[in-house]
A and B are shown apart, each in its own frame.
Chain A
Amino acid sequence: MSNEATLERQATAAPVAPAIELKGISKSFGPVQANKDISIRVMPGTIHGIIGENGAGKSTLMSILYGFYKADKGEIWINGTKTEIPDSQAAIAAGIGMVFQHFKLVENFTVLENIILGAEDGRLLKPSLAKARRSLIELAEDYGLNVEPDALVQDIGVGMQQRVEILKALYRQADILILDEPTGVLTPAEADQLFRILGRLRSEGKTIILITHKLREIMEITDTVSVMRRGEMTATVKTSETSPPELAELMVGRKVLLRVDKKPATPGDVVLDIKGLKVVDDKGVERLRGIDLQVRAGEIVGIAGVAGNGQSELLEVLGGYADGIGTVTLNGKPLDLTGRHSDGKSRRNRGIAHVPEDRQREGLIMDYQAWENTAFGYHHDPHYRAGILMNNAAIREDTAEKMERFDVRPPNPKLAAKNFSGGNQQKIVLAREIERNPDLLLIGQPTRGVDIGAIEFIHQQIVALRDQGKAILLVSVELEEILALSDRIAVMFDGKIMGERLPDKTDEKELGLLMAGITDTDTPHSVEEIEENLAHTHGDPHKEI
């Protein structure tokens, strides 16, 4: 790998050692080679992006750097000295801090208690807390990381929780910060604020590694970027000298279409009509607080929103596996929202197909073979039956055809679902649901954990189904996806729909405000206001991502 040239500028301008240098790191899990001979140099005071599809090995690499895994081969050099990192304690001692995608905070502790957790000085808490409070104030001032030291973590918003994670690392004197998919749970405005903080940290001399799969973030904030594909580092380039299409190509290994090609919609009759839909969960919390929504034939309605604001519950009620209160009609006839006829089987009989948000937990039985999964939910179909037995041969045949049409690789009906890649798993679910020719398709996070190449295909299939005059309700936390696919966008916040917009008459900024529950989108709003709003939702932001 010759990334020397691209880093020449830094190397010549400042004869300092790289903050991090990985040399020939390899790691395999059983038969899977997660990292193959990876070398990387990150200069101090820069933001280095690592981009790659799910499963490309980004997280494994960072876990090695943070001491969670031990590399099979290779060396780690920190600030010019070779360093062994057998565990996370050693990583912290070497000045590395990590902000995980799923925050590691104790919900019923205060911000301050969380920050000193694991770094208490003596047997008594009080002196440590006092010391932490002093340095917290300093850190907050230095880097613009404002938090409320005495608030309970469960009461603060996701944005602030993330800042607590960053402060935790800084409190432990981290000079190198690793952030794993930090914007997954943030609204666009919060993400912007995070990037401002990262910029500030960089100017104070901190080194930052940003792991993401979003090209936009790489372009916005990083100085250099490394692309990973299938466990290998395919390129390291200067951000200013690359472009999103080039990075996408490096990630996938071929040219990809980043835009969805689609004709304007020609909506027909109302297929799905939701009026005053409410959902109350086991704990008595209202997760849906009166939803009104229509989806017409031949249109894609996209639901935007930060994860955990009721989108999952909406899909669950419509899919028949959560109880709801209110009126929902399909083609003019009411749907049962509770009781015997409110289950997945009845919904399928009514012509509702459902690609669930979490294909591994819901959409597929991971230990079932592809053909068994193709019958999943439709196993009562007469075509799949032979007397009291299942007609396995017919199902296998059908599966082989579907795999062919949806380009599932490898096209082997007898392979267990867990052995397919994320994109191919999703294609199996999509093939099953779309080929049923449903009146209404519910589709949640259609491309989560799916490689860019497959995203293109999946988007085309969704649009093709729309063009056949079907109604599609799309839920996604990826705003870009919502904007690209939807013919109409409804924004959900705290179990309510904050408003509907047309994709060509809105932008990420306006949607971002709606996602934070702010409806007067014309006046300017501060990030604090947005956070304040988000902190009071009942949503559980960690549930989905």
Chain B
Amino acid sequence: MDVMPKWAEVVLVPLISLLLAAVISALVILAIGEDPVAAVKLMITGALGSTYGWGYTLYYATNFIFTGLAVAIAFHARLFNIGGEGQAMLGGLGVAIACLFIPWPHWSLALIGAAVMAGLLGAAWAAVPAWLQAKRGSHIVITTIMFNFIAAALLNYVLVNLLRPKGQMDPATARFPEATNLPTLHDILAPFGIAFSKAAPANVSFVVAIAACFVLWLLIWRTRLGYEIRAYGHSESAAKYAGISPVKITMITMIISGALAGMMAINNVMGEAERLVLNSTEGAGFIGIAVALMGRSHPVGVFLAAILFGFLYQGGAELALWTSIPRELIIVIQALVILFTGALDNMVRMPLEKIFLAVRRARAPKPERKPVESAE
């Protein structure tokens, strides 16, 4: 018997947080002399008003689903993987290798091959900090952050010195062969008679991301591995008692986490850019943390939060394009959402719990019998 019903926990809390973030954002926009109502309208029409807008929103959301899931699975084992950014970069490298050096006959095979390579490299990049944590006790937050920098430097080196075609000034790989180009939502939806913007980058990876949500849900709540991961996350001492190896769980969880972050590259590198450029991840690895926090580490929550952040990204871009609201302020708005939904969660939760408690008290004059343990 928790204090709040489940629906309040999963719907009401994030909704109120979001509302608070919106109110403060509106005040900020007012303060610089712009009209917040117009700004919201512009964001909504820009991000959701056309299939073009939707195409971008879903494209960003796909990135965030992968990185959000990566952070979420690690959270279940009480591991804080801040290295999604680096793991996604390595994933990009994996995609580039798979696409450039293997002559794929069809995009579907290329997608599988690229996803596997991306996952492998992302997983490998997460496995090193995981091993350091499991065997040496080096804190995974520190090591994964550091691995982001190493990844950036590594990619810089590889792109400039190894993968850059001769004579090209841009530190990027050559364009991937046409056979590896993924169908966009336009291509997928056309046979069904649904017209979708041709220019938008959302592609088949979005479907893969949805599948990943389902598989991860199955893994976390229906398999023994998921059971062990959650048990370890709740109590390491109890996990040891039950014969669950902390080393094994740390390694496996981080490998899954890294693989998910790495697989983001099939969307941004393979699906959109169709070549690997420097800084292809554009901070999606970090947004994943906010997405996982807001989504309560549940795949469905991660999916919804990813869509929301996709909307904020695309809507924000539109705002920057059409109004004099500076780009930096849009980042402020995004940060406010992260702050309220992630960090300030308890600010909303506590008063809400009190309200529910008061309501329950008022309804039942005699409180039900409960253990008084917590009071001692």
Cβ-based interface call for B372 (8 A): yes
Cβ-based interface call for B360 (8 A): yes
Q: Which residues of B contact A320 (CB under 8 A)?
A: 243
Chain B, range 340-376, C-beta contacts under 8 Å to A: 353, 357, 360-361, 367, 369-376
A343 touches B235 (CB 8 A): no
Once A344-B240, A347-B243 are accepted as A-B contacts, the answer to whether A56 and B372 lie under 8 Å apart by CB is yes
- Chain B 1-40: CB-based contact to A (< 8 A → 1; otherwise 0): 1110000000000000000000000000000000000000
Q: Which residues of A contact B361 (CB under 8 A)?
A: 31
B373 touches A379 (CB 8 A): no
Chain A, range 309-358, C-beta contacts under 8 Å to B: 319-321, 343-348, 354, 356, 358
Cβ-based interface call for B192 (8 A): no
Report how far A321 CA is from B224 CA in the complex, Å: 20
Closest residue on chain B to residue A358 by CB atoms: B237
Once A319-B241, A419-B1 are accepted as A-B contacts, the answer to whether A31 and B373 lie under 8 Å apart by CB is no
Select which of A29, A343, A392 is within 8 A of B222 by beta carbon. Answer: A392
B357 touches A55 (CB 8 A): no
Of the listed residues A30, A361, A365, A392, the one surrounded by the most CB atoms of chain B closer than 10 A to its CB is A365
- Chain B 217-260: CB-based contact to A (< 8 A → 1; otherwise 0): 01000111001101100110110111111000000000000000
Q: Which residues of B contact A362 (CB under 8 A)?
A: 235, 237-238, 240-241
Q: Which residues of B contact A354 (CB under 8 A)?
A: 241
Report A38 CB to chain B, min CB distance, Å.
13
Report how far A343 CA is from B239 CA in the complex, Å: 11
Q: Which residues of B contact A56 (CB under 8 A)?
A: 372
Cβ-based interface call for A77 (8 A): no
Q: Which residues of B contact A343 (CB under 8 A)?
A: 243, 245
Q: Which residues of B contact A388 (CB under 8 A)?
A: 223-224
Give the interface segment out of A136-144, A215-223, A234-242, A366-374. Answer: A366-374
Q: Which residues of B contact A376 (CB under 8 A)?
A: 231, 238, 242
Q: Which residues of A contact B369 (CB under 8 A)?
A: 230
- Looking at chain B's contact residues, is the secondary structure mostly helix, strand, loop, or mixed? helix
B371 touches A344 (CB 8 A): no
Select which of A27, A55, A321, A347 is within 8 A of B371 by beta carbon. Answer: A55
B224 touches A380 (CB 8 A): yes
Report A342 CB to chain B, min CB distance, Å.
10
Report how far A239 CA is from B339 CA in the complex, Å: 59
Closest residue on chain A to residue B1 by CB atoms: A419
Once A390-B222, A390-B223 are accepted as A-B contacts, the answer to whether A34 and B243 lie under 8 Å apart by CB is no
A29 touches B241 (CB 8 A): no
Cβ-based interface call for A537 (8 A): no
B222 touches A321 (CB 8 A): no
B376 touches A31 (CB 8 A): no
- Chain B 45-71: CB-based contact to A (< 8 A → 1; otherwise 0): 000000000000000000000000000
B375 touches A364 (CB 8 A): no
Select which of B234, B238, B372 is within 8 A of A34 by beta carbon. Answer: B372
Select which of B222, B224, B367, B372 is within 8 A of A57 by beta carbon. Answer: B372
Q: Which residues of A contact B374 (CB under 8 A)?
A: 29-30, 32
Report A455 CB to chain B, min CB distance, Å.
16
B376 touches A59 (CB 8 A): yes
Report how far A366 CA is from B2 CA in the complex, Å: 13
Q: Which residues of A contact B224 (CB under 8 A)?
A: 379-380, 385, 388, 390
Size of the chain A interface, CB-CB below 8 angstroms:
55
Select which of B1, B2, B227, B238 is within 8 A of A379 by beta carbon. Answer: B227
Q: Which residues of A contact B223 (CB under 8 A)?
A: 388-390
Q: Which residues of A contact B1 (CB under 8 A)?
A: 415, 419
Report how far A189 CA is from B223 CA in the complex, Å: 53
Report how far A320 CA is from B240 CA in the complex, Å: 9
Report B216 CB to chain A, min CB distance, Å.
14
A364 touches B222 (CB 8 A): no
Report B293 CB to chain A, min CB distance, Å.
18
B357 touches A361 (CB 8 A): no
Chain A, range 363-410, C-beta contacts under 8 Å to B: 363-368, 372, 375-377, 379-380, 385, 388-390, 392
Q: Which residues of B contact A392 (CB under 8 A)?
A: 222
B375 touches A34 (CB 8 A): yes
Closest residue on chain A to residue B360 by CB atoms: A31
Once A347-B243, A379-B227, A390-B227 are accepted as A-B contacts, the answer to whether A230 and B238 lie under 8 Å apart by CB is no
Report B376 CB to chain A, min CB distance, Å.
5
B367 touches A377 (CB 8 A): no
Report how far A166 CA is from B357 CA in the complex, Å: 41
A368 touches B234 (CB 8 A): yes
Chain A, range 37-67, C-beta contacts under 8 Å to B: 54-60
Select which of A345, A364, A415, A422 is within 8 A of B373 by beta carbon. Answer: A422
Report how far A42 CA is from B360 CA in the complex, Å: 37
Report how far A361 CA is from B238 CA in the complex, Å: 6
Q: Which residues of A contact B240 (CB under 8 A)?
A: 321, 344, 362
A230 touches B372 (CB 8 A): yes
Report how far A346 CA is from B245 CA in the complex, Å: 12
Closest residue on chain B to residue A230 by CB atoms: B372
B375 touches A361 (CB 8 A): no
Report B89 CB to chain A, min CB distance, Å.
32
Q: Which residues of B contact A54 (CB under 8 A)?
A: 373, 376
Q: Which residues of A contact B367 (CB under 8 A)?
A: 31, 33
Closest residue on chain A to residue B218 by CB atoms: A389
Report B366 CB to chain A, min CB distance, Å.
10
Of the listed residues B222, B224, B238, the one surrounded by the most CB atoms of chain A closer than 10 A to its CB is B238
Across chains A and B, which 4 residue pairs bring their CB atoms closest together, nearest first?
Answer: A344-B243, A345-B243, A34-B375, A421-B371
**B-binding residues in A (CB < 8 A):** 27, 29-34, 54-60, 230-231, 319-321, 343-348, 354, 356, 358, 361-368, 372, 375-377, 379-380, 385, 388-390, 392, 415-416, 419-422, 424, 449
15 A–B contacts, CB within 8 A, in A order: A32-B370, A56-B372, A57-B372, A59-B375, A59-B376, A320-B243, A343-B245, A345-B243, A346-B243, A362-B235, A368-B230, A419-B1, A419-B371, A422-B373, A424-B371
**Additional pairs, 20, CB under 8 Å, beyond known A54-B373, A365-B230, A379-B224:** A30-B357, A31-B361, A31-B370, A55-B371, A55-B375, A58-B376, A319-B241, A321-B241, A344-B244, A358-B237, A362-B240, A365-B238, A366-B235, A368-B234, A376-B231, A390-B223, A390-B224, A419-B1, A424-B371, A449-B373
